[in-house]
Structure 1
């Protein structure tokens, strides 16, 4: 049986896949101790964002591979990729979708989250600043930006080819 992958977009006010996104976020939180947002905050932010989703279909089975919830200004509120799909370009495709629609892409990443920081660095994001006690639990963050120095279009082209 073949697996099809679809790119879905949930526009502001559309809560399609919000339950699946919450479940994925919680699975990651429990195993990696990141993405610690409360459910009310998460669902409200999801509903106010444009959310890009990659969904696999195999027969009648549907599986959320990953999602990126983005504000109007290109700020990524949440980016999550199911562990079983990491290393397959899912995160890269999601950030690419964001970059197609914004002049710059920004986000925060937990300073202790080496996997996320390595991922963003690989895509060409640069650290703009370090913010102490950014998270509710007192954790530090880095504010990251893609698009600036070499031009966003050039950077996107580079990482989409790579």
Structure 2
């Protein structure tokens, strides 16, 4: 990662960077059509989460909003920075705080599914009509076998 990239943590209850996170999520949604939420849902979930963020020159380039139980509500990386390890680093930061990490991903979101599979997440089950628009999801989990810290540590070194 570039030396100009700064990482921060937004604590639960704060709305620091919530507008920037919404804009990034919407930019990704406009390109690939997979991050569809109402703004009020997104904002409420963001404020109830601990959010790991990456900034470059004070511009939000990636974030992971995570519940206390290690469930990733939102993970987004600016399209200009995808493929540079930022998503992996965000998941690694989440892994430092949790024994297991879980999330949902649309069954049609091939990019996300490949990303999570590469990190070692396993599909635990399919949930039909999970999303508000009727889309189906996979429930994914990391940490069910072996040490999650070891898995992520190995990944970050690659």
* TM-score by shorter chain over 0.5: yes
Give the aligned partner of residue 5 of structure 2: 5
Give the aligned partner of residue 100 of structure 1: 96
Gap runs ≥5 in structure 2:
none
Could you say if the C-alpha distance between residues 103 and 3 of structure 1 is closer, same or farther in structure 2, counting changes exceeding 3 Å? closer
Give the aligned partner of residue 156 of structure 1: 152
Give the aligned partner of residue 142 of structure 1: 138
Pairing 1:1-162 to 2, within 5 Å after superposition = 4-57=4-57, 62-162=58-158
Structure 1 CA distance, aligned partners of 2:131 and 2:29? 14
Deviations 1:3-28 (A, max 9, x none): 61110110011111001000000111
Gap runs ≥5 in structure 1:
none
| Matched residue SS, 2:154 | helix
Structure 1 CA distance, aligned partners of 2:34 and 2:118? 20
| Matched residue SS, 1:16 | coil
| Matched residue SS, 1:137 | coil
In the alignment, is the contact (CA less than 8 A) between 2:8 and 2:53 conserved in 1?
yes
| Matched residue SS, 2:7 | strand
Deviations 1:2-58 (A, max 9, x none): 86111011001111100100000011111110110100000010000000000011x
Please report how far the alpha carbon of residue 89 of structure 1 lies from its aligned counterpart in structure 2 after TM superposition: 0.4
Q: RMSD of aligned C-alpha atoms?
A: 1.1
Structure 1 CA distance, aligned partners of 2:111 and 2:77? 12
- The TM-score, its normalising length taken from structure 2, stands at 0.96
| Matched residue SS, 1:128 | strand
Deviations 1:94-135 (A, max 9, x none): 000100000000000000000000000000000011111111
Stretches of 4+ moved more than 2 A in 1? none
In the alignment, is the contact (CA less than 8 A) between 2:125 and 2:138 conserved in 1?
yes
In the alignment, is the contact (CA less than 8 A) between 2:21 and 2:63 conserved in 1?
yes
